[in-house]
Amino acid sequence: MSATTSIDTLTKETQEEKESLNLFYSTQTVIQKALAKLGYNNEMFELLKEPIRLLTVRIPVRMDDGSVKIFTGYRSQHNDSVGPTKGGVRFHPEVNEEEVKALSIWMSLKCGITNLPYGGGKGGIMCDPKQMSFRELERLSRGYVRAISQVVGPTKDIPAPDVYTNSQIMAWMMDEYSRLREFDSPGFITGKPLVLGGSQGRETATARGVTICIDEAVKKKGIELKGARVVIQGFGNAGSYLAKFLHDAGAKIVGVSDVYGGIHDPNGLDIDYLLDRRDSFGTFSKLFDNTISNQELLELDCDILVPAAISNQITAKNAHNIKASIVVEAANGPTTLEATHILTDRGILLVPDILASAGGVTVSYFEWVQNNQGYYWSEQEVEEKLCKVMVNSFDNIYQTAQSHKVDMRLAAYMVGIKKVAEASQFRGWV
């Protein structure tokens, strides 16, 4: 190989990896492939490759020390041909326009996969909630709703929790919207506390959905869940409840981590002890001396690996070292496209994020239906309905992957985008 070739190859690989790490770019790439597989022309891709609406807002907040701080927030609506847009609001220092746009497209895909009557939406505020007081968070949440109130509403765009937002924040947002509209509007937002029209099972819905996907995946791989060794990266809402559910089902949780690092015990960790010690941001590993890094955690010997933290964790660099035979993405975007191909080629069953984490929005839909009808379901009813949706969605995507000979991510995109494309076509937009 000549010196020029090797430099060219290196540049190309670096470029590919760079593109693969960009969530928005990689989302568009897979959408284009999925639409082509489904036989749609380029006009459909032109419509669906970007959100139809993106609002940027600046939110002034009076801080506890008397100063005013201006926060930047977004609300992105990908496509509303199927119905109102739907999706969470995240509070995070790294929130940015591209990420919010990509995440709103993913919400369209999640709603398509689960057959919910929604298009995708997503919001975010660039802030560090860990550095803010309770009252500062309240003022920020209310300010955000005032800033976006023109484009959201129970039949327009319905927000929900996401990274570092919770039922208290949903309650403030619902209250602010109700005051602005001068009537009680529980259906404006989901993920509310039960007493304000929240749904049974919403808090645990994402983890339940992931558990159902794991149940289906182990069947396909011929593995017994009882005794299976599981590693979970991330101990927030999804990761911690998931650890509990899998532990209760007899699986052995051999590694977990939070933002500071992970802990590992090949004989199985004491999950109840860890749950007791986690704070509301899902952090605990500072308690332990013998911590391992998040990267080491991903490469631990195990049967099932669940990245439930942040994006771009499994990349071309470490995909060859993953030992699990099943990877279930509970976080949004934890595996790059290149890594997806590496894992698939290695025979690892990858359950993609837009399927695995769709339990949250599914129970959000149930919450919205209950708010609209003013009649509430039991936890058991919610769980049975969720189970039906998740099992059907998993089967549909698994069959699509088999029949089209594509990886599970592309299959999920095909199933997810089909409904949006069909609805846009029937409306005469394309």
Nearest CB to ligand GLU, comparing residues 209 and 262: 209
CA–CA distance, 88 with 104 (Å, rounded to integer)? 9
Tokens of 75: 């609300």
Nearest to 275, CA basis, from 305, 236, 304: 236
User: Rule CB under 6 A: is residue 352 a binding residue for ligand GLU?
Assistant: no
CA–CA distance, 79 with 98 (Å, rounded to integer)? 16
Positive/negative CA dihedral, 261, 265, 271, 277: negative
Within 328-429, residue ranges assigned H as helices are 337-345, 353-356, 359-373, 379-404, 408-426
User: CB of residue 361 vs ligand GLU: minimum separation in angstroms?
Assistant: 4
Quote the DSSP letter at residue 171: H
Nearest CB to ligand GLU, comparing residues 173 and 271: 173
Nearest CB to ligand GLU, comparing residues 210 and 302: 210
Q: Using alpha carbons only, how large is the chain's radius of gyration in Å?
A: 21
Residue 375's Cβ-count burial label (10 Å; 0-12, 13-18, 19+) is exposed
User: Rule CB under 6 A: is residue 86 a binding residue for ligand GLU?
Assistant: yes
Q: Out of 199, 364, 370, 424, name the contact with ligand GLU by CB under 6 A.
A: 364
* Contacting ligand GLU within 168-207 (CB under 6 A): 190-191
CA distances from 251 to 7, 227, 233, 261, 302 (A): 47, 5, 16, 22, 11
User: CB of residue 168 vs ligand GLU: minimum separation in angstroms?
Assistant: 16
User: CB of residue 90 vs ligand GLU: minimum separation in angstroms?
Assistant: 8
Q: Cα torsion at 289, 294, 298, 303 (round to 10°)?
A: 50
Give the total of residues touching ligand GLU (CB under 6 A): 13
Judge whether 48 and 27 are in contact, CB under 8 Å: no
* Contacting ligand GLU within 102-141 (CB under 6 A): 110
User: CB of residue 154 vs ligand GLU: minimum separation in angstroms?
Assistant: 13
Catalytic residue chosen out of the listed positions 49, 101, 110, 122: 122
User: CB of residue 363 vs ligand GLU: minimum separation in angstroms?
Assistant: 7
Nearest CB to ligand GLU, comparing residues 40 and 365: 365
Collapsing DSSP to helix, strand or coil, 191 comes out as coil
End-to-end Cα distance, the chain: 48
User: Rule CB under 6 A: is residue 87 a binding residue for ligand GLU?
Assistant: yes
| Region of 70 on the Ramachandran plot (φ > 0 left; ψ -120 to 50 alpha; else beta) | beta
Nearest CB to ligand GLU, comparing residues 240 and 364: 364
CA–CA distance, 160 with 187 (Å, rounded to integer)? 11
Interacting stretch for ligand GLU, rule CB under 6 A, among 41-49, 138-146, 223-231, 355-363?
355-363
Interacting stretch for ligand GLU, rule CB under 6 A, among 24-32, 232-240, 357-365, 409-417?
357-365
For the chain, give me the number of helices (H) and strands (E)? 15, 12
Nearest CB to ligand GLU, comparing residues 228 and 310: 310
Nearest CB to ligand GLU, comparing residues 335 and 364: 364
Interacting stretch for ligand GLU, rule CB under 6 A, among 83-91, 128-136, 212-220, 261-269?
83-91
User: CB of residue 187 vs ligand GLU: minimum separation in angstroms?
Assistant: 12
- Reply yes or no on whether 317 is catalytic: no
User: CB of residue 390 vs ligand GLU: minimum separation in angstroms?
Assistant: 13
Interacting stretch for ligand GLU, rule CB under 6 A, among 315-323, 340-348, 358-366, 384-392?
358-366
CA distances from 383 to 137, 165, 206, 341, 417 (A): 31, 23, 11, 33, 26
Looking at residue 232, its amino acid is I
Nearest CB to ligand GLU, comparing residues 191 and 352: 191
User: CB of residue 364 vs ligand GLU: minimum separation in angstroms?
Assistant: 3
Positive/negative CA dihedral, 361, 366, 367, 372: positive
Interacting stretch for ligand GLU, rule CB under 6 A, among 222-230, 239-247, 306-314, 359-367?
359-367
User: CB of residue 358 vs ligand GLU: minimum separation in angstroms?
Assistant: 7
Nearest CB to ligand GLU, comparing residues 123 and 255: 123
DSSP string over 79-121: --SSSSEE--EEEETT--HHHHHHHHHHHHHHHHHTT-S-EEE
Residue nearest to ligand GLU according to CB distances in the complex: 88
Active-site residues, by number, are 122
Residues that bind ligand GLU (CB under 6 A): 86-88, 110, 160-162, 190-191, 357, 360-361, 364
